Amino acid sequence: MDITNLPFGLTDWSAVPATEHPGERGVAHWRTRQFGPIRVRIVDYSPGYLADHWCAKGHILLCLEGELRTELADGRSFTLTPGVSYQVADGAEPHRSSTETGATLFVVD
């Protein structure tokens, strides 16, 4: 990632409006900021959420609250808890997320 032409700035995430993204089950609420080609989000997943697709987009994400299960298309599964992050490149390993209890993530992609 090459970050250029981005002056210093603050983001008050509580002031960023959320958009709703239904999953196969449950819903995700995204608060999103775009900085040139870099998208930064706080994502809140409802309890019982299951993504409705396999994602091939690269991300760096950090679990802030709750517990998130990330399943890879090859069958591996990983659980994120507060303070645990993962990173994956564009097109590297299709993945999808779910949570039984709900989760809040900080995502850069």
What confidence tens digit (pLDDT) does each residue in 73-93 have?
999 999 999 999 999 999 999
20 pairs with which residues across the strands?
29
In whole angstroms, give the CA distance from residue 32 to residue 81.
22
Q: What is the pTM of this model?
A: 0.91
CATH domain 18-108 topology: Jelly Rolls (2.60.120)
Sign of CA dihedral 67, 68, 71, 77: negative
- Find where tokens 């959420």 sit: 49
Residues lower than pLDDT 70 in the chain: 1
